[in-house]
Structures are given as C-alpha cells and as structure tokens.
Structure 1
C-alpha cells in the first residue's frame, strides 16, 4: 500500500496562496476604503460581515474574507483605527493534531516564500515549527503552525508600520 503525497491533499495549493501573497506585497497598499475595495476586486477577494468583538469600541476590527480560491481557506481582513491593517488566512485546518498534510503545507509555503522574500526571521525558537516572518515592500508576512489540538496554518500579510503602531498601543494600553 503506497502513501499519498500530503501536498496533493492541500486545497488551495501552497503555490496558489504564495501567488496571492506576492500580489498583496507588490500592489500599492490601500490607504482608503475605496482603494481596499479596488484591491480586493482586482485580487478576486470578497469581503463579508464584520466580526462581533467583545469590545465594539476596540480600534482593531475584523471582517470575514473569501480569498476566492476555494478549498479550506478561512480568511479575514483587519483594520486598526479604521485603516486597512491586513489579511489573515487559516489554511488546511483539520481537527487532527499533528496532521501530516498541514505540516507539508507550512513547509511548502515556507520554501516558496523564502524563494521570493529571502530567509525569514524566527521571533522565537521554542516551538517545533516556529513562526516565520518575512519583510517585503512595507509588508510583514507571517506564517505560524498551530498543531497541538487541531492543525491549521495561519498566514498573514500586514502593513508593517501600522502593525507596529497596533502592537505598541496594545503593550502600552
């Protein structure tokens, strides 16, 4: 009995996801709602409802996002102080802990993102698969594997400067 290649199980493929990341990095970053809507239309993204948060007065707001590639990709887009912060996608989610396909997915994403954006930073090394962070064109690209109870790959592309402001505000507040 032969085992199937876990990469064949991934939908969307890592290559498809990396192409979207590259477009988010290469395109001008939206500075208004109209520019964000135009970018989303160009990328084939469909914005959904705003998530209800515990604190509706929070400067950080999240909205549902369909990235238009089918498969197992749960997306959201975020604002901070009403400015477009970025896009987050949860990929290859399963209720299985340590799923081989999910591990293959993050490995392949990391390989392809490294080919495009160079060697990533690892903010901490105390995990089996530590987060990877790439900086490119004023954007921060982050991948993180969550693998203890369920398995999923979180990938985000954020405006680096605005993310730094949000993080500083969270620390001081």
Structure 2
C-alpha cells in the first residue's frame, strides 16, 4: 500500500494529533486538580470513569479520557500519588500485525514531532522500532509503535518530574 494511501486512512489525521500535543505542551503543567480541570476544559477534554486497578494500594490512578479526537481512540489520564502525571492515547489500533496504516501514522507523527521538538531520544535497545522521547516545557512526550501481534501507536504526554518520581519508586521496589 503506498504511503499516501496509508496516511489518508488514518483517523484521527496526524496533523490533528500533532496540534493537540503542541497545545498541551504549550500550557503550564497543572499542579492541582482544579488546574487540571481548567486545562482539560480549554482543550475540550472530558473525563470518564476511573479504571478499576488490581491493587488498591497502587499510587497510580487511571481515568478514561475523551480527547475529542475523530475515531474516538482509547485515551486516559493518570495521577501518581495524587499528582497529575499525564495523558495517553492509543492511535491507529488494528488487530493486524505490522499494519501499514499504523506504521505510516507512527512515521508521520515521529517526523512531525521531530520537526517541532528536535531529534528524539531512544533509551532502550533491542526492539524493532525504538520508542521516541522528546522533552518540552517540563513535559515528556513518548511514542511507541506496537505491531508484533496487533498494531497501535501509543502516545503519552507526561509531567517530567512526576514521571521521574514514579520511575524511581518503581526501581526501588
């Protein structure tokens, strides 16, 4: 399938996703629930139900999120120890492995995010397609392509300092 054909199948289109990420990282990071609610209102995000976690003691809390994107991709926002951690969206999901449209979406988003935020970091070795990480304005943007069994692009925008605390806590356990 030609690249342009694959890109025309994507819903939401990469430009819409990129614009949403750009708006998100241009905003100051919310430090309390009221600021998060105000941010979500400005961006047109709507919270849904909280996820049931296996461990009630978990410092993570995950909540469904409607980001207002076409195609209604699975999206969530989460907290760590009560602090707003970030948002995650799963784009271009199919039950096919190595789906050309999903791969095109990943490539297009990677190219456009690189134009905006510079060359990404690739911190892990040994994967077919390395995750990409960009940092901007105290936010960490992480994008993964999953396509071995199913195909999906996972894009997260997280508070860099809260994410570092969560990672340090996970390592110390």
With normalisation by structure 2, the TM-score equals: 0.96
Does the Cα contact within 8 Å between 1:143 and 1:153 map onto a contact in 2? yes
Paired with 2:170 and 2:49, the residues of 1 have a C-alpha distance of 25
Where does residue 95 of structure 2 map in the other structure? 95
Question: 1:70: how far off?
Answer: 2.0
Runs of at least 5 residues in structure 1 that lack an aligned partner in the other structure: none
Change (3 A) 1:54 1:109: same
Paired with 2:158 and 2:100, the residues of 1 have a C-alpha distance of 28
Paired with 1:127 and 1:59, the residues of 2 have a C-alpha distance of 29
Paired with 2:133 and 2:29, the residues of 1 have a C-alpha distance of 19
Question: 1:125: how far off?
Answer: 3.6
Runs of at least 5 residues in structure 2 that lack an aligned partner in the other structure: none
Paired with 1:135 and 1:46, the residues of 2 have a C-alpha distance of 25
Question: 1:3: how far off?
Answer: 8.9
1:152-173 superposed Cα distances (whole Å, 9 cap, x missing partner):
0000000001100000001102
Question: How many aligned residue pairs are there?
Answer: 172
Where does residue 21 of structure 1 map in the other structure? 21
| RMSD over equivalenced CA pairs, Å | 1.3
